[in-house]
Amino acid sequence: MNASGVVLAGGRSTRMKFNKAFAEIGGKSSLQIILDKFNTVFSETIIICNDPELYAEMNDKIYT
């Protein structure tokens, strides 16, 4: 499919006290689980976030 998937990862995590994107589930971060699923469906994935440095190792487009 020639479409882009967008992940909104710009929350402040005030209730959980840590970045939910990096919460581990079965040995993977919740963000990595989402990216793995998106990569099977979309031609590109875009991450919208507050702090791009946290997501620098992801091989996706990152915007603030």
Q: Write out the residue range of the structural domain in which residue 58 sits.
A: 4-63
| Parallel, antiparallel or unpaired: strands 24-25 and 28-29 | antiparallel
- What total of structural domains would you count in the chain? 1
d(CA 44, CA 60): 7
pLDDT at 16: 83
User: Per-residue pLDDT for the chain (64 aa), expressed as one digit of tens each?
Assistant: 689 999 999 888 888 888 899 999 999 999 999 999 999 999 999 999 999 999 988 877 999 8
- Side chain identity at residue 25, one-letter code: I
